[in-house]
Each structure stands twice: as structure tokens, then as C-alpha cells.
Amino acid sequence: QQNVQQSPESLIVPEGARTSLNCTFSDSASQYFWWYRQHSGKAPKALMSIFSNGEKEEGRFTIHLNKASLHFSLHIRDSQPSDSALYLCAVSLDSNYQLIWGSGTKLIIKP
């Protein structure tokens, strides 16, 4: 059974700083990796995804995947108060896209 862990559980970062969120998974056969963001009271929305080793950058957000170390991460540069949310990582083994979720990191960006 796939085990997906996130760290830290919560994080407070000053505005303008760089934020790093981590996700580890247990099944080396995992193929699809996502970060979702859930603002309070709203549905989780897909933020970024990555399907092969390496990095992918979209605006202020960078996702990094290292399958050998069973780890992927999300980095936010120039963090903004609007980035404050619950960040969830999710992993899928196959193209059926059945997601196994981490428990989330609560991020607060302080002005």
C-alpha cells in the first residue's frame, strides 16, 4: 500500500521569502505526481504536476522530482500572503490517476 508523507505539517514564512514543501512516497513504481492547493473553505485545485525526474517551473512555483530518493518537492519564490493555504501532494501509480494523498502542509505567509 502506497504511503505518502508530507513535511512539515505547518509552516510560517515571511512575505517575499522562499518556501519549500516536501513529499515522500513509498512505492518506487509511482509515475504521476501532483501538488494541490486548498484555500480555506474551497476545493483542492491542482497546482502543478510532474511525470519525470527533474524540475519544472511555472511562474513563482517550481516542482522537483527525484524518483530514486522517493521524494518530490514544491518551491515557492517571493512568497505572497495569497499563497497561504493547505498544500497537498498526491501520487498515482498508473494512468488511471487514482490519487494517494499526503496529509498536507498548512502554509501561512506573514506580511
In the complex, the residues that contact other proteins under the rule CB under 8 A are 1, 4, 34, 41-46, 49, 88, 95-104
**Nearest distance from C-beta of residue 83 to other proteins, angstroms:** 19
- Closest to other proteins by CB, 4 vs 79, is 4
Q: Compute the distance between CA of residue 76 and CA of residue 53 in angstroms, rounded to an integer.
A: 19
Which single residue is written with the C-alpha cell 514543501? Answer: 21
CB of 85 to other proteins, least distance (A): 14
Nearest 5°: phi and psi at 65? -125, 130
State the nearest-atom distance from the C-beta of 107 to other proteins, in Å: 16
Q: What distance in Å separates the CA atoms of residue 62 and residue 92, rounded to the nearest whole number?
A: 20
